[in-house]
Structures are given as structure tokens and as C-alpha cells.
Structure 1
Amino acid sequence: MTLTSPGLRRMLPMTGHTMGSRSAATCHYKCGDACLRDVSSTSTAPHFQAVAETALSRRAVLAGMGLVAAVASVGSAVLRPERAAAAARTAAWAQVSDTFGFAPVAPVERTVDAFTVPDGFDWHPIIRWGDPVVAGAPAFDLDDQSAEAQEQQFGYNNDYLAILPQGDGTALLVANHEYTNENLMVPGFVDEESLTVEQLRTSIAAHGMSVVQVERRGDDPRWYPVASPFGRRFSALSTRFRLTGPVVGHELVRTSTNPRGTSVIGTLNNCAGGHTPWGTVLSGEENVDQYFRGDPAAADPRNNEMYGLVGDDGEAGTGRYWWKVDPRFDMAQEPNEFNRFGWVVEIDPTDPSSVPLKHTALGRFKHEGATVAVAADRRLVVYMGDDQANQHLYKFVSKGKLGGSLRNGSFLLQQGDLYVARFSAEGDPAADYDGTGEWIPLTKGGRSMVPGMSLEEVLVFTRLAAAAVGATPMDRPEDVERSPVNGKVYMACTNSSSRQAPGVANPRSKNRWGHVVEITEAGDDAGATTFTWALPLVCGDPTDPSTYFAGYPADQVSPISCPDNVTFDSAGGLWISTDGQPGSIGLNDALHYVPVDGPERGHVQQFLAVPTGAETCGPWVDVEDGSVFVAVQHPGETEGAAVDVPTSTFPYDGSSSRTPRPSVVQVYRTTAGAMPQG
């Protein structure tokens, strides 16, 4: 199968529009070709880049941070790294910092099909697509997959990852299953329209989440899955989720099969997530529009305008042809079904009988994830990014407070205030921040704070509400995490190559390489309504003058581009995974470690690289255990790849000689030495 086929070119409409390691197949299967639709926020607030340009200019002059070249190049910077420069940096990459417990690996060219780890470490796949999850699940059979089998097996394209210790050498592994690659799942695949009903049902069943019990065996540092009562699949095909919060029962979420508007079958496009102090896991529903066959006449125009159901040409998409299996995915038949997706969901992995929840108080948009913090007064705070170009950063603050027993935690997510961020360039370099910001309330005290919109409308059409109050458009705000050590909040802005004009706190036009924003809440209180911000990382090839690494010498850092998922280890070290490193960087995606405090602040060093076509997802770092866990998503997802014509054979264990299998991987230390200590 090659891209010379006109039919296949129509199936991958982003062909010719992508950069670097990002393939048109990724754009189609993962995002539903979202970049071809303009759903930019209509907010009149200046873009984050304009604020960043002002702030960085002032910082360069007043603080002498060496960013004059970067500021001068705003709007025209294009990465043109020389391979000779990469060779010159080899010595820097090979150094072992006293702060780090590993020798950074050199970047890996995007054509290399290998999982690369530092010296002194090894890796193994804990669980792969199709492996048993539920006790008694059938063995994986590529040539005879069924929906019934898939609902008992590990789903496809694992993303968010949590490893929750139980003690006694066991733990619960929780993973999201974001989307499917039918070309790599179905032998003889031609196109999506040609899939059989059972193949479509199998794809639906491969979405959702998995809970798997894992165990240690003797002195072996590796984790292994075991059959247990905890094994559970949350399937898009059959699992019922209960709606919570203000939108429950509202006419916007009522359908013919659920006229009371109280529950939803399935969860879709689960990207990143978070874990809670009371032991549950949150998961964000992201690019859900791609699963629905649109109807310009039947669908709510607010969904067409800001949620991507109808393209710029006014034509409705065909979705993933799921409407052939279930009419709820056809907007002409069920115009409200779409409103029932795009939420934050919560599952309890410790209780196999628990009912999963969808929390409407947290708003509806393309959730990358949901990170929980606790305010100074014990109110619950959830940080959330809306992962699309020119969308916004949100924060939910609960009405009630977290009790000492933590038993009321889930209830707190059902009532509270939803805020959206507005950034300004009123910075003070001498005080080590580039700008200020405020959290603008969208809901407060159970009431809408947006003129002309009811409470329920604000929560269902949150993007429109954010634009109405003048929130700041961002460069794909993805994962957001709060440091357990310094209390600051870090947001990965992956990129926005289509944006032309400067904006607030987005440092470059045509920002193909992304950046990281550091937010300090007033009084270091997650419940505050004001904050300051800085840009510790402006990503890209270090030879480009528009990059910045918190003042650390650029010739001593690993190149990093398109930051996606972020996490912290217990010592406060920031770990950043990448998604589609573009341009002339042309590298396999990777996981990087970078200190955010002290003399090595900004010292980016690459820990691992995933195989060709793959993305690094769900990093989970256990310093004390000496292990790093990642979800290797869409290995071999390149144009022209198919079952029997793979461009990757990951995980290289003989199970995937015909097609690669997304897997959760543990990287573990094989030699003595400490992991990073912040």
C-alpha cells in the first residue's frame, strides 16, 4: 500500500502538510485532521505570543539573558540545523551531570526502528495491544480479532499511564487507549469505508481505558501483568459512565436512548490524565469530533463553529464510519450525542465494581489531561489544557474542601468554579518572571459568569464561553503539571505552525517547535486567582537563536521539540515527552529530563527515544524504584505502512513480526547508581 493511490490520499488529507516525524497518518487517525479545520478561539485578547514578545524583549534588555537574537527573529525563525553542529555537540551529550543518574542518549534519526535507552539501563514491554486484561480473556490473534475479544484485552494506542502501588510487590497499571490505526490492525486493510461491521466494532472496543494488576517476581526489577479481579476494560462499545454535575439531565445531553440525560455509553479519544489523592484516575477526552458523522442542519451550530463537526468548506465529515454500527454516531439521528463527549472522566481502579463518572463541572473541550492539586484551604484544584491551536488553559476549583479521610474527593469534582487564564506582559525580570495573569471565572457559586450563556451552556460550550470573557489563545496547551517541590505549574504548549501574528506568551510566530510555560500562583496557592509566568524553555534545535533553555548554555543541551506530556519525579525533576519533532530536527520522539531549579535549571538531557513513527506518552517516573515507564503509542505510524508491510516491528519480541503493537514499557536500571535527584 502506497500513497500513490488516490483513494488513500483522500483518506490521509494532511499528506504534504506535515513536518518532520509527524505523519499524515497520525493527523488522520489521532486528531481527525484537526489542523484542516479552523476552530481558533474568537477571543479578542492578544495572543500569548504578543505578550511573550513584549516580556522577552524587556527581559533581554534588563536581565541580559541573551535573548536579543531570539526576539529579533520572532515571526521569521525557521530551524535550519546543520548536521555538523550535531556532531560538535556529541561531547556535551556524553557528559554525565552530577545531578543526573544517567548519561544522556544522543538523538535518534526518525528512520531508526529502535527503542533507545542510556547505558546502564534496559527495557521490556509490560503489556501490549491485545494482551489479556480480564481473567479468561482469549489470546491475541491478529487474523481473528473480534469486539468480544478486544473488550477483554489491552486496547490500542496507550497514552496516559499510572502505576499505583498496592504493596506486597503488586501494583495497578492504568492506561488510556486514545485511538486506533486500522491500517496496522486489520490484515488486508483498504480504507475505513471498507471495514466490516465487526471490524468497526472491534475498533470501538479498542478505545477506552484498561486496569491491569502487575507484580514483581523475586529479585527481578521488572513488572509483569497477572490475571486478577482488578483487571478491567472501560470500553467505548459498552461501558456505561454516569454523568455528574450541573449538566446532568439538561436537554443538551438528552438522547433517544437516554432521555433523562444521566449516563453515556463509552469514553473516547482518552489522551492524558491525572491521579487523585483518594486513589482514582482522571482521563481527558480529546479529539472526539472525528467519530461523528456531521450534519450541518441537525447539529448545534455551536458545535459546528468551535468543536470541528463541520469543516471550513461547510461540509460535514463522515467520521470513522461508526454510524454504520451505532446510530448515535450520526448527528442526523442523535444531534445531542456529541455533547456527551469531551469531558474529564474518573475511574476507581481499586474497585472493579465501581461505576465510572463523567464530570460536567470541569467543562467540555478537547481535554489533554487533568492534574489535581490541593489549595491552601483544602479545596480541590484541577488544571486542564485544551489541545488545539489558539485554545485556552483552564482551572477548576471545588466548592467543598478535601476531608481528612479523602472519602469526599470524587464528590468535590461535581460542584465548583471553572476559570480560564488570561496572560499579560506586565513582567519584572528582576523578580524572575516575564508576565502576570489572572484566572477569569466562567462559573461561580453555581451560576454562569458569561453574559448571554446559561450555566449549562457554559459547561457544554466552554470554548465559546472562554472566548467571550477574553481568555488568552495559546499554542496548543497540552499537559499541565504542578511540581511537588517548588509548587509551580508547568504547561506544555506543543506548537502552532499556522499562527502568523504575535500573541501573549507565545514567543514565535509559526511556532513549529513549542515551548513550556512556568506559572507561579499568588502565594504559591493553587486556589489563587492571580499568577506570574515565565518561559523556562523555548524549544527547538539549540543552534537556532530563537531557542532558550532558562539561560543554560545551548551547546550543552539535547535538542527538544513539540513538548507534549510532562510529569515530575518525587525530587522535583521535570520530565518532558515529545510528539512529532518537526522540521530539520527530524528525530524520533523522546523523553527528556530537565531541572527547573538550581544551577542546572534548563539543562535538557534526553533519556530515551521511541521507535520510528511512534510517540512518547504517559511518562511515569519512580525515583526510589529506579524505573521510568512510558506508553509507546502508534509505533510504525508512517505513510504507506500496513499489516504485512510494517515500518516497525516494535516491541521486537517476536509477537509483532507482521505489525507493530503499542505497548507500555518499563525502563529499569541494570547498574548501581542514583536516579536524578532534582
Structure 2
Amino acid sequence: MTISDQPRLRLLPMSDHVRGKRSAVTCQLKCANACLGPECNTSDNPHFRDIASSALSRRSLLGLGLAGAIGLVVGDAAGGGASGAAYAAQPGTSGLAFGPIDPVNRLVDEFTVPAGYTWQPIIRWGDPLFSSTPALDFEHQTPEAQAGQFGYNSDYLDIIADPSGKSGVLVNNHEYVNPNIMFPATTDPAERRRRGDIYKAAQGMSVVELQRRKVGEPWSYVVDGRRNRRITVETVFELTGPAAGSDLVKTAADPEGRWVRGTLGNCAGGTTPWGTVLSGEENFNGYFAWAADTAAQKRYSGTSTTSTETGWEAYDPRFDAHDPDYVYEPNRFGYIVEIDPSDPTSTPLKHTAMGRFKHEGANVTIAEDGRVVAYMGDDERNDYLYKFVSKGRYTAATSTGARKRNMRLLSEGDLFVARFSGNSPAGEITGGGALPSDGLFDGSGQWIALTRDGESVVPGMSTEEVLVYTRLAADLVGATKMDRPEDVEPSPLTGKVYLALTNNSNRGGASAPVDEANPVSGNRYGHVVELTETSGQAGETFGWSILLLCGDPSTTAYTYFAGFPKELVSPISCPDNVAFDSEGNLWISTDGAPGTIGYNDGLFKVPLEGDQRGNVQQFLSVPREAETCGPVIHDREGLVFVAVQHPGENGAVGAQRSFFPDYVAAHGGGRAAAPRPSVVQVFRA
């Protein structure tokens, strides 16, 4: 039974458990109720020296038992909007001076921007990319139409301008679908299969050509643009790196273990210096029916399943990991994906050298010696922060050949996981969020190698096992459990790295006691950590401090904003994605604020230097039940872009809770519109 066939929200498994986070609908569709199942990370993270001296065998590590003899069996009310005098604005940002908006009540279905600004969508779910594709027809949607239309539930976003500044390309992830607000409920098997194929076509990624009359104006998208492309659950990807061709990624349909159909759960990402786009495959486990009968599978799914929300396993055997021919199909997802938006005929890549886990995304910088460094978060409670350092060096040339060489940089290199150490006495970290006596939550850290020179350095695990079961490898070397590591990005101005930690209801429990890097028990509002590499960008040591302890200062005593007076900041909760403007200010989008502080999610600017450091200022608010994703800040042009995901997610066909972004059409008579996830641009009125 899919969610469309069930009674509404009251029967969803997470309905009684979402105390101040996502809605139960998001939990069901986006991450397969991960917080309701058993905790995936039950390790006590022994230190590396303990492992090296132990008699731990590869077979016992992976829970093979008898099955190991023939191969690992793994399933595969009122709102704001006016400028708020209570919040301190920072003047001087190029083209983007603004007065922070008041927070908007979570029941308000509006997209709210500062005084002097306006907004419009660039492209919405269902808008056709090609003249041969029909416009979205809610009552007659087909898989074929959706495959040529802009996808659903937008997440990571970039707007990449060409040298002229008058043309460019938009790249956007489509993380998952919400059947309830796409279609009326049905129990007809044939109709459910037809919809299943629409869901396949609605996910993945979109590449869309853009144009405008002159630099600084808003963009419009181009039907039949030469770079227009949809990447879906059926697109063929090439596996790269040491795990490509391994027995752990082979299936009946791909006995070579080198060609994967589709990408799933595409969340955040990053754009590389060579012009390609990286996308993180996050909650892939919820797309497979599989048996959690090994340590390896439990570490990724937590529980066994016989059916999924999409229903694909009923007619596509690769999503039924109970099938002996497809037990390793799940091992082919959970990677960093790389696409070339300039070439719609190119084969996208999945990089096994960067590890397999629930990738929020990956963001790249170039180290002092020319090697590529990528930072990555594993978005699950009590999971880890990772870094990848390439073996090869970046070529700055812009030729097609140079781009192709650079696209292989992420196929070979060293993978690391982070261990944080605090510098305050343990007795001062009480779980209540009070600052220790030195006035900072801070300390040092170590990047612990999982692979070096392309080979495993984890005792008892082969290279292929480290890269396919990366979470297990990180457990063994004593990585630090973090409060849901989401986006992690280096500042292009300072090189400091900023890690968004959304929240963690289990922090402070037996499996994850508080520590200085995660100092709040039951961390409801999340926090942001600032890292400084102390031995170079490609080095293995770092310093760190907490930049923000999020929340509403008027109701949460422990909130902290890098020492800035908390009575002057905008309330912020559940940091998710981060970005930077040309002056080095940090911008944060949020996911979960409606349930924690009672306001719609939004986008916030945070200066990082001078007397304004830590001054959180809200720039925009997204509509009811939506999440703010993929911020792009072109401040020199006075433009801000965001992706608006799952507006009105708790509604149903005939009882929609949002009409974003087509408010006028929705209220002007006729059939009630469905909300449409969209990419929005904000500019001066």
C-alpha cells in the first residue's frame, strides 16, 4: 500500500513522534521514517589502536556468518513580512542591503521577502523543457510527459552564467515525490504502476538553459535549450573508482558492476571549479525492499522492509533486494554523482572512491598543492563528517580535454572521517548548552584515513568493503558521532569550513552522550560548526569552534550567535544548506523550523567577520510546510535564488494546504491547483 491509499496524517507512523521537526509526511516519503526505526549507528566507536590489536576478522565485522561463504547477503495563523526593527541589519553587502524580515507564522502560505524586493519563479514542477513535451496537466500526467518536464521536489540548485552573463544554465536536484498532493488516492494496480513510472521520471536532476536581456536582470528558462536535460531513475551512470567492478556492486542486469541505472534521493551538492555539478544520493535505502539480516545492511537501513512508498519493487526486480539477482542493487546507490551540464549527451558518473553513505552533498576546493578536496556530511543522527583528497591535481585550463581529465579527479584518492576533541573539562559539558568556562565550545580534530593511496587502511576490511560499507569503516576507526551532518562548505574567501548540523533527538542518550562538538541534549534546533584546517586544506588536523547554537533566543536560554547580542538576531532553527556571497558572509537555509520554533523555514545571512559576526538576519521565508533548499547568492547583481521543496506537504488532492507559486490562478476560480515545487529568484522591486 502506498501513502496515497492510506487514511491521512493521523495514521502515518511518525505522527506521534515528530515533536518539533519535520512533518510525518516528510519523514515517510523523504527518509522512510529513519528516526522511528532502530538507530543505524549502534557502535561505541573503539579507537584505532584498539582495533589494530584486536582479533577482529572481516567475516565477523560484516556479519557474514554462513552466508559469507558464498558472498555477503545485503539488501542491496498570522505572519510577518515587514522589516523587523528588533533585528540588527548589516549595511554594505554588494547589491543586497536589506532590513531583516520578521519571522512568518508556520500557518501562512506566502513567499515573503524584505521591503524593496520581489520574487518570481524561474521554473516549476511540470514546466516543459522541450517543445515536444506538453505542459503539466494535473489530471492527465504521463510518464512520457514527466520525463520531458522539470522534476519534483527541488533541492540543490546552481545558476551558472556563461561568460556573456546573458545566458547560462540552471542545475537542480529532485529529491523525492509526494503522491498525496500529485494525484487522488487509488487502489487500482494498473494505475499505481503508471504512477510509479511517473515517480521515476519526476526524480533525479534537471539541467535547464537560461537567458536574460542584460546582466543583473532576472532569468527566464529556454524551452528547447541546447543544454536542456532530464536525468532520472532510468538514466545510465558509470561507476568509477576502486569499488567499480567489485562483486559487491554486481547484479544480474550488470554482471560487470560498472553501469548503474538511475540516481535516487538527490539532496544537496556542489559545483566544481571545472564546471561540473556534484549531487549527493541521500535517502536511497527507502526505495528498496530488503532484509536487514547483516550488520552491513542494518547500518544503512536499520530495519527490514517488504514494500516501499513508490511500489517499484512490485514490477521492477532491481528494487526488490530479496531477489538473489539483485541483493547488491542498493550497494549501487549512496554515492556522489557528477554530471557535466554543458554536454547533454555525456554519461554521468558515480564516484565510489568518495565512499557510500547518505550523502547530503559534496563541496570542492583546491588545496595548496593543486589537489582537489571535497567535504561531505552523512545526514543521519549520530553519523559522520568526511573529507576526500584526490590523488591527481586540478588543471585550470578550460578546454574540453581538461574538463574530462578533471572529471576523473574524484575517482582516485584518499578518504577520511573526522574525530573531534574538545578542550574543556568534561564536567563543563552538561547537555544544557551553557558555555564552558573559556567562553567557547571549541577544540581540535583529526582526519582519520579510511583509504590511503587508494587502498584500505582499516584492519579487517578490503578497499571495496571500505568504500561500499563506509559507515562500518568509520565506526571502527573511532569517528565522532555528529548531530545529523548536512551541508558542509569551505568559504571561498578564507578556506574555513562550515558544517550545518540540523538536529538530533537522540543526543545525550546512551549511544551518543553529549560532547563539546555536540553539547546539547536532545538537540532540537541544531547548530553550525566552523572548522579551520591547521595543516593545509589537504592535511589531517583541524581546529574547530561552534559558530551558532540555534533556536529562538526569546524562548531558548542557551542559544549562542558567536558572541553577538542574541536579542538582536533573527530566530533560526534546523540549519540545512549553506552558501556564501562575494563578501564572505555565510547564508543558511533551514529545514524544520515550523515544528521547532513555530515559523516557516527561511534563508538567513550571517556575517563571519568584524563586530557583526554572528548577527543572524532573515532574508526570506518560504510558504507553509515548505523547506528552503539550495541557496545561490549573486549579491553583486542583487539576486538571490532558492529552491522551494514540498510546499503544502500535508495536503491532499482536493484539500491542498498551499497554492505556491500560482496563488492568483488558484484563487481565481476553477479547479484547485496543486502546489508546485519551484526554483525562485528574488530581486529588487
TM-score (norm 1): 0.87
1:30-179 mapped onto 2 (5 Å cutoff) = 30-45=30-45, 90-93=84-87, 97=91, 101-168=97-164, 169-179=166-176
1:341-490 mapped onto 2 (5 Å cutoff) = 341-405=333-397, 406-407=402-403, 408-426=405-423, 434-490=442-498
Report whether the alignment pairs 1:668 with 2:683.
yes
Question: What letter is aligned with 1:486?
Answer: T
1:174-185 mapped onto 2 (5 Å cutoff) = 174-185=171-182
Runs of 4+ in structure 1 over 6 Å off: 191-194, 427-433
Task: State the 1:652 CA deviation.
Answer: 2.4
* Corresponding residue of 1:529: 540
Cα distance in 1 for partners of 2:111, 2:439 equals 42
* Corresponding residue of 2:226: 229
Report whether the alignment pairs 1:624 with 2:618.
no
CA distance change for structure 1 residues 668 and 21 in 2, over 3 Å: closer, same or farther? farther
* Corresponding residue of 1:53: none
Cα distance in 2 for partners of 1:653, 1:583 equals 24
Deviates more, 1:584-593 or 1:280-289: 584-593
Cα distance in 2 for partners of 1:420, 1:612 equals 37
User: Structure 1: 5+ residue runs without aligned partners?
Assistant: 48-82, 671-678
Q: Contact between 2:525 and 2:596, CA under 8 Å: does it hold in 1?
A: no
Task: State the 1:296 CA deviation.
Answer: 4.4
Cα distance in 2 for partners of 1:167, 1:11 equals 53
Task: State the 1:645 CA deviation.
Answer: 1.0
* Corresponding residue of 2:256: 260
Task: State the 1:113 CA deviation.
Answer: 0.2
Cα distance in 1 for partners of 2:594, 2:85 equals 24
Cα distance in 1 for partners of 2:46, 2:626 equals 35
Cα distance in 1 for partners of 2:339, 2:411 equals 14
Q: SS of the residue aligned with 2:553?
A: coil
* Corresponding residue of 2:310: 320
Q: Contact between 1:592 and 1:607, CA under 8 Å: does it hold in 2?
A: yes
Task: State the 1:239 CA deviation.
Answer: 0.8
Report whether the alignment pairs 1:590 with 2:602.
yes
Task: State the 1:318 CA deviation.
Answer: 3.6
Cα distance in 2 for partners of 1:192, 1:497 equals 39
* Corresponding residue of 1:304: 297
Q: SS of the residue aligned with 1:646?
A: coil
Cα distance in 1 for partners of 2:89, 2:408 equals 49
Question: What letter is aligned with 1:246?
Answer: P
Deviates more, 1:153-162 or 1:427-436: 427-436
Task: State the 1:41 CA deviation.
Answer: 2.5
Q: SS of the residue aligned with 1:490?
A: strand
Cα distance in 1 for partners of 2:9, 2:296 equals 27
Task: State the 1:92 CA deviation.
Answer: 1.7
CA distance change for structure 1 residues 194 and 505 in 2, over 3 Å: closer, same or farther? farther
Could you tell me which of 517, 535, 552 is aligned with 1:505? 517
Question: What letter is aligned with 1:589?
Answer: D
Q: SS of the residue aligned with 1:624?
A: helix
Task: State the 1:404 CA deviation.
Answer: 3.4
* Corresponding residue of 1:578: 590
Question: What letter is aligned with 2:313?
Answer: W
> Could you report, residue by residue, the CA deviation over 1:371-427 in whole angstroms, capped at 9, with x for unpaired residues?
001111001001000000000000000011112325321111000000000000137
Q: Contact between 1:19 and 1:582, CA under 8 Å: does it hold in 2?
A: no
Task: State the 1:9 CA deviation.
Answer: 5.4
Q: Contact between 1:381 and 1:526, CA under 8 Å: does it hold in 2?
A: yes
TM-score (norm 2): 0.86
* Corresponding residue of 1:635: 647
Q: SS of the residue aligned with 1:505?
A: coil
Q: Contact between 1:21 and 1:586, CA under 8 Å: does it hold in 2?
A: no
CA distance change for structure 1 residues 175 and 410 in 2, over 3 Å: closer, same or farther? same
CA distance change for structure 1 residues 21 and 647 in 2, over 3 Å: closer, same or farther? farther
Q: Contact between 1:343 and 1:362, CA under 8 Å: does it hold in 2?
A: yes
Q: SS of the residue aligned with 1:148?
A: helix
Task: State the 1:487 CA deviation.
Answer: 1.3
Question: What letter is aligned with 1:305?
Answer: K
> Could you report, residue by residue, the CA deviation over 1:565-604 in whole angstroms, capped at 9, with x for unpaired residues?
0011121010000001155611100000000111100000
Q: SS of the residue aligned with 1:34?
A: coil
Cα distance in 1 for partners of 2:118, 2:454 equals 51
Cα distance in 1 for partners of 2:527, 2:306 equals 33
Question: What letter is aligned with 1:650?
Answer: F
Task: State the 1:217 CA deviation.
Answer: 3.4
Could you tell me which of 597, 605, 609 is aligned with 2:617? 605
> Could you report, residue by residue, the CA deviation over 1:251-293 in whole angstroms, capped at 9, with x for unpaired residues?
1111111111111011001000000011100000000011111
Cα distance in 2 for partners of 1:588, 1:263 equals 41
> Could you report, residue by residue, the CA deviation over 1:32-67 in whole angstroms, capped at 9, with x for unpaired residues?
1111123343443599xxxxxxxxxxxxxxxxxxxx
* Corresponding residue of 1:29: 29
Cα distance in 1 for partners of 2:163, 2:437 equals 47
Cα distance in 1 for partners of 2:373, 2:155 equals 23
CA distance change for structure 1 residues 669 and 305 in 2, over 3 Å: closer, same or farther? same
Question: What letter is aligned with 2:586?
Answer: L
Q: Identity percentage over the alignment? A: 53
Asked which structure has the greater RCO (Cα within 8 Å, sep 6+), the reply is 1
* Corresponding residue of 1:280: 276
Task: State the 1:97 CA deviation.
Answer: 4.3
Cα distance in 2 for partners of 1:592, 1:658 equals 30
CA distance change for structure 1 residues 584 and 383 in 2, over 3 Å: closer, same or farther? closer
User: Structure 2: 5+ residue runs without aligned partners?
Assistant: 48-77, 425-435, 667-671
* Corresponding residue of 2:654: 644
CA distance change for structure 1 residues 35 and 527 in 2, over 3 Å: closer, same or farther? same
